[in-house]
Amino acid sequence: MPAHAHALPLDAVTEQAIDWLVRLDSGHSNDGDQQAFAQWLAMAPAHSAAWMDLQQRLNQRISPALSQLQADGHASPSVRALSTAAGHRPGRRALLGSAAVALLTAAGGGIWFNRRMPLMAWSTDLHTGTAERRRFALEDGSDLLLNARSSADLYFSSTQRLVRLRAGALIAQVAADALRPFVVQTAQGTVRALGTRFMVQQEQGRTLVSVLEHSVRLAPGDEGAGIALEQGSSAWMQSDRVEAVFATRVDPSAWSAGVLEVHDQPLADVLDALRPYTPAVLRVSAAAARVRVFGVYPLDRPMQVLQDLVDTLPLRVRRWSDLVVYVDVRDA
């Protein structure tokens, strides 16, 4: 099929968004680029809308297939086979012999890169307000990114680096220090860094842990040697056990880029993710809470997200002043 026969038009703002994607995802981008990008995004609502639209379209079209092939041993032959246009491929040999090799399905058809917020400040008692994400540089060279409405205390000494997460979520980028282990403590237990980058999210009665690089060790109830969790995996930690989260295409740390990514999740989860980003109280009926949601949404504009959901799903929204928003199913 001649793919460009009916190509959709490309507007100037989308082209700018594509230029940003190419620049930021070049493998060479620096803090200056990221700051300039943050300014561009903030300059006009149309900019962030174009950016989200671009991400969403790429995610729908090609990102899951690309993730599928990023596993070891598949990327290189795929590049070679796909780099040749149709009709120019040699057709020499017939099919495969099968042996066993596990496919490491790369988790997260996900976002194309993590937008790093410019480094802002550090303190020993960290917290963020509504709709505020903030990166904190720590004295040991590590840094913490806090999601909106999150708080954490630091207890650093000559023998330990302990971060107590009291509310919300953080992503830790850990600097190596053989003498002082790096530990994040939640109400359910501890997460000990063996590697460099992971996310911890305090929820009601449980903790979500997601490993972005290398591995961590989970110790529910702070007891025992703990359970290893590897890169690309996520788990729920309760005070007496750890439960695996089955691989999905959703990246639990996408909030770090201001993005909420959901794939067949109940609306209740979406509203939980939006709450830290709005001063309004979000209420949901039992029927609406079960509605399944797909898509990629901008966390920084929660009311826009609600409007998008109402436009595409059988939902309606009622407001009492600006402070209480009630989501229900639409009558047939």
List contacts with other proteins (CB under 8 A).
1-4, 6-10, 14-15, 18-19, 21-23, 25-28, 54, 57-58, 61-62, 64-66, 68-70, 72-86, 88-103, 105
CA atoms within 13 A on the CB side of 92: 2
Place of tokens 């917290």: 127
Among residues 85 and 178, whose Cβ is nearest to other proteins?
Answer: 85
Q: Residue 304: helix, strand or coil by DSSP?
A: helix
Among residues 104 and 208, whose Cβ is nearest to other proteins?
Answer: 104
SS3 content of the chain, % helix, strand, coil (to 5): 25, 30, 40
Among residues 78 and 238, whose Cβ is nearest to other proteins?
Answer: 78
H/E stretch holding 203: strand 197-203
Among residues 79 and 176, whose Cβ is nearest to other proteins?
Answer: 79
* Burial class, 163, CB count within 10 angstroms (exposed 0-12 / middle 13-18 / buried 19+): buried
- Closest approach, Cβ 149 to other proteins, in A, equals 34
Q: Are the CB atoms for 125 and 143 separated by under 8 Å? A: no
- Closest approach, Cβ 301 to other proteins, in A, equals 22
- Closest approach, Cβ 30 to other proteins, in A, equals 13
Among residues 64 and 181, whose Cβ is nearest to other proteins?
Answer: 64
Q: Residue 169: helix, strand or coil by DSSP?
A: strand
State the amino acid at position 263 in one-letter form.
Answer: H
- Closest approach, Cβ 114 to other proteins, in A, equals 14
- DSSP, res 132: -
Sequence-distant (6+) residues with CB within 8 A of 240 are 220, 221
- Closest approach, Cβ 29 to other proteins, in A, equals 10
Among residues 59 and 253, whose Cβ is nearest to other proteins?
Answer: 59
Q: Residue 47: helix, strand or coil by DSSP?
A: helix
- Closest approach, Cβ 25 to other proteins, in A, equals 7
